[in-house]
Structure 1
């Protein structure tokens, strides 16, 4: 019997698990996929928002500002990758100025620091490659970028170190309240817990319906992105937004934490929660919209595209509360700025749980530090594909990933045996050739270290048996 069962190992569920590990409570984290961070937490902008976009007094606004200020300390403890860059929201027309003033006022009321409205010339001093059409901009010093999937991995590893149990490839198919506990039926086993936290993202409505709650509906809102080579990262120093629309924060241009230029996302409501494909039409629209902000990026340097589905709920603000079923905690519609807010969401959920009757005693043995997987490389790095030691043997040339880093990633608390799982932890395969050189080498290391047949090393889990051949560059490269 667990004290708390968390459904969903995305950034929200992982933050909650790690926060609960600070107490003497028995916790399990349940995830339907083969790894953590396989949903919206993997495929998003990686932006740590300042907190000026949401209406003062809303849960989104409060938790965004609170979460933003927690990232620096979390990164010092967990080494997942975070950098404060600042952000700009661009105005191109006189009517855009009204929006900028509104966002500025929101930010002041929300307690956001480092805000100011600047003219186009000052914006171009910060960002020399901005369009000459930019008339003014809202600057926020507090915004930044992070590696979202590495954040989730780091949180989960640290939670496991401190006693949380992770159950991967485990799909919850039914939930029954029995007296003072819940019985969770899964595709693998029956799990019992005194409290259940529904952090299932786009599936949160489905999970809630298992206990008879049908008060809300989640629509997947797909956002598509294009990632360009690191050679293009000189084009953006900050996170560059356009004025937001009713569909979201709009098309951005940013440098990712690891130094690629990224543009996107669009926003399209779709019916299929599993549809994370990209389309040539949408990608062309993204390119054209991004050129409005930064005209001169080179699409011949595009290396991949991807998309993710955000959980858009039929309500204006997030829902974070104990439901009418005692002990069942709902987290509904956690879309942007959910990544930014997730550490603060975890604190709020713990406070809710303290009202359920579970005894919370501080864990005196809690270990807050998690060693990084990726080791910084400098001019003295002697890596080579024919290196004689794991520390010197380079498996991925584009990202300079060593065999030692891959071995380290394989022997931590999260069992992973897919090539994509190693890619998210080490960046092997994320470079210019997109795994063309290293994919088979990664596969060999996984098979050897886990002592499994090479055919059991999949690309991305049980639905991708075998290793596909290298694919041709995608259609959007022609744009």
Structure 2
């Protein structure tokens, strides 16, 4: 059961997870599977309303993570668990592989070190390629390519269905989701009392997975600052589905000290993504798109894969990553106050989320409290949004096609609202169904979607929705 208001004060949870991004959803699932009574406290009106809603959707191997780092350990653990559970949760995997491409001699000179680092990190599926060999692997690459490294294990997943599945399984085990609930203050007297914008929540332990507000939440929990969120904006261009056949694998750049760089990659939804940029800013809420940067991304994409020149653009968007003063994950455990902080989880968070959840459970074990696991995990089956598997429109009796660009059926939209974790806003509905995400960006389907969602979303699509009795 989902809550829009805080539970009664006489109800105390084992674990309060702050933040319903991909990490928070994974943590909720892990503790619910262990038998804990879990509540997830989310500032937004839906899950994935912060940094997690905008990413490149790559399931990383960790080949380029810092050797011996916590990040590497958790990427590998998270990836392994995703591969182990994805069939049970009906989650897609597009087996693309990746090429780390050097476009000049200076970049080519760094490939040996990247290859050595990948092998030190325990990634065996790496292969050095000449420019000609790489173009034989992917014929559409520019003739300018000097050399490359093939990373066979890098793949593409659905970035929104994965965390939704994690939280759905947690809810099936009794977890609660509290939306539009910002943490305002707290008190600890052996148990936590969390003051939120919709009331108080009591819990034996807290896990701060607040992403872009991780440092702010730590402060409101009464902890001295140990890291500072420095938002990093990434802008993306989504190319039309006609681009998809030209990009069969992920094209990665030679990374710098600041960023992994601009990626050209296929998506699970049949498009091609170009981005992100890496721009520091102070604003934690607004991620604007800039024409000059988007034009630069389009130019860069066409330089890498010439067939992308002039390809129609389906969408542009920008997201913020919770970067900090350090490249490392900012993970802290405070056993005396039964609090865990999972901060500074940047571009590898989607891959590492399940590993971070495992790590949080290990840290919590030091608090001295155990749980009784409920037995078999409940079955969770999510609708498939990936173009590599059968979609609902291809099945009989699906009813009306509401969004013709993305072939979203009425049955899918109704199922989203009837699910254990229904959408709280239009962005949440889009992420659950792809409605309005296609070539027309909702121009043709938004009126019908407004009619279907009347009274069901925190901010209505129709201007007069709030006037209805």
- Normalised TM-score (structure 1): 0.89
For the Cα contact (< 8 Å) 1:113–1:141, is it kept in 2? no
2:331 alignment counterpart: 320
1:339 offset after TM fit, Å? 1.1
1:295 offset after TM fit, Å? 2.6
2:214 alignment counterpart: 204
Q: Deviations over 1:159-212 (max 9, x none)?
A: 11111111111111112212x111100000100111110100010000011113
1:29-48 aligned within 5 A: 29-48=40-59
Three-state SS of the structure 2 residue aligned to 1:104 is helix
- The counterpart of 2:203, out of the listed 183, 193, 199, is 193
Q: Distance in 1 between matches of 2:159 and 2:322?
A: 16
For the Cα contact (< 8 Å) 2:161–2:382, is it kept in 1? no
2:9 alignment counterpart: none
1:360-371 aligned within 5 A: 360-371=371-382
Q: Distance in 2 between matches of 1:185 and 1:147?
A: 34
Cα distance change of structure 1 residues 432 and 138 upon mapping to structure 2, 3 Å threshold:
same
| Runs of at least 5 residues in structure 2 that lack an aligned partner in the other structure | 1-11, 465-469
For the Cα contact (< 8 Å) 1:254–1:262, is it kept in 2? yes
1:11-410 aligned within 5 A: 11-178=22-189, 180-210=190-220, 211-323=222-334, 326-372=337-383, 374=385, 377=390, 381=394, 391-410=398-417
For the Cα contact (< 8 Å) 1:373–1:405, is it kept in 2? no
2:3 alignment counterpart: none
Cα distance change of structure 1 residues 431 and 355 upon mapping to structure 2, 3 Å threshold:
same
Q: Distance in 1 between matches of 2:19 and 2:152?
A: 32
Q: Distance in 2 between matches of 1:73 and 1:31?
A: 28
Q: Which has the higher contact order (CA 8 A, sep 6+)?
A: 2
Three-state SS of the structure 1 residue aligned to 2:341 is strand
**The 10-residue stretch of structure 1 (250-259 or 48-57) with the greater mean CA deviation from structure 2:** 48-57
Does residue 418 of structure 1 match 2:425? yes
Q: Distance in 2 between matches of 1:319 and 1:287?
A: 34
1:374 offset after TM fit, Å? 4.8
1:382 offset after TM fit, Å? 7.6
Cα distance change of structure 1 residues 30 and 371 upon mapping to structure 2, 3 Å threshold:
same
Q: Deviations over 1:289-344 (max 9, x none)?
A: 33332233144510110011111111231122313752110111111211111111
For the Cα contact (< 8 Å) 1:117–1:139, is it kept in 2? yes
Q: Distance in 2 between matches of 1:227 and 1:325?
A: 47
**The 10-residue stretch of structure 1 (184-193 or 413-422) with the greater mean CA deviation from structure 2:** 413-422
For the Cα contact (< 8 Å) 1:373–1:408, is it kept in 2? no
Q: Distance in 2 between matches of 1:299 and 1:70?
A: 40
2:4 alignment counterpart: none
Q: Distance in 1 between matches of 2:291 and 2:335?
A: 45
For the Cα contact (< 8 Å) 2:383–2:412, is it kept in 1? no
**The 10-residue stretch of structure 1 (98-107 or 259-268) with the greater mean CA deviation from structure 2:** 98-107
Three-state SS of the structure 1 residue aligned to 2:453 is helix
- Normalised TM-score (structure 2): 0.91
Q: Distance in 2 between matches of 1:436 and 1:80?
A: 29
Q: Distance in 1 between matches of 2:278 and 2:62?
A: 20
For the Cα contact (< 8 Å) 2:250–2:266, is it kept in 1? yes
1:358 offset after TM fit, Å? 1.6
| Runs of at least 5 residues in structure 1 that lack an aligned partner in the other structure | 384-388, 469-479
Q: Distance in 1 between matches of 2:223 and 2:415?
A: 44
Regions of 4+ moved over 3 Å: 373-383, 464-468
For the Cα contact (< 8 Å) 2:239–2:272, is it kept in 1? yes
For the Cα contact (< 8 Å) 1:146–1:256, is it kept in 2? yes
1:82 offset after TM fit, Å? 2.3
Q: Distance in 1 between matches of 2:420 and 2:344?
A: 29
